[in-house]
Amino acid sequence: MNRPDGRQNDEMRELTFTPNVAPHASGSVLVSFGNTRVICAATIEESVPGWMRYQKVEGGWLTAEYSMLPYSTHDRKRRDISSGKLDGRSSEIQRLIGRSLRAVVDLKKLGSRTIWLDCDVLQADGGTRTASITGGCVAISIAINKLMSAGKLNDFPMKSLIAAISCGVYEDEVVLDLNYPEDKAATVDSNLVMTENLSFVEMQMSGEEATFTDEQMAQMIALGKKGVSEIVVKQREAILAADKAGPADLQDLAAAFGR
């Protein structure tokens, strides 16, 4: 089988991180999985939601917002504000992003703070939710490192890195990191969220008017673990590089877009 972009079945798209793309955020990164590009920006507020104060819940909170910019797809996508509400897909994805990242952040160690993670899709070519989780982890790690450097935290609240990757059955074969043509034609689609030690946080796996076998499920899980192991290495590199780099400039962004 030939994949649309010529990759092997177990091969991810090119993965890059460009840190510090949003200088007013506490931590930010442009994450690119091939032609899928998402800006993930973490902002830390020195307060917690009202429900936490009312219920006297210790620690802090982490929440995510996800949006596809109108020009991120081939046909212009209407902004949610145009219809007056968040569409169902975006709502489901931002809940996934938030609960995935809360799984690896010790909110009590965070203190009475809120981490807002904004994930804005600049270009969509499949896997925007997995890219958002993967890039979100990097953005939050950068933001927390800044808090630690400023002496505002005593203990590092990140328990683990976390990453996500898609797998699926395309033309009767199990493949890793589906791009849009593959995702559109896949008979089985899965999104796997894992920690750096390959513990599962969430698995989304479903047939598209089709079924899948135990063997195919095992193959998707094995490919997912391979992908996450590769991603975590690059996440660590990006987090370390962000500490040494200044704000990203236009040259950095142009390079991230392959120009």
Q: Is 187 annotated as a binding residue?
A: no
Q: Which residue shows structure tokens 């590089």?
A: 241
* Contact predicate 90/68, CB 8 Å: yes
Residue among 106, 122, 91 at smallest CA distance from 159:
106
E strand intervals along 57-156? 61-68, 114-123
Q: Is 129 annotated as a binding residue?
A: yes
Helix (H) or strand (E) holding 98: helix 88-102
What gap in Å lies between CA 200 and CA 197, rounded to an integer? 9
Q: Is 130 annotated as a binding residue?
A: no
Residues counted in the chain: 259
Two tokens at 80?
């949610």
Q: Quote the DSSP letter at residue 14.
A: P
φ, ψ for residue 179 (rounded to 5)?
-90, 180
What gap in Å lies between CA 235 and CA 31, rounded to an integer? 10
* Contact predicate 235/216, CB 8 Å: no
Helices (H) and strands (E) in the chain, counts: 8, 9
Q: Is 128 annotated as a binding residue?
A: yes
Helix (H) or strand (E) holding 147: helix 128-149
Residues marked as binding for phosphate?
89, 127-129
Residues marked as binding?
89, 127-129
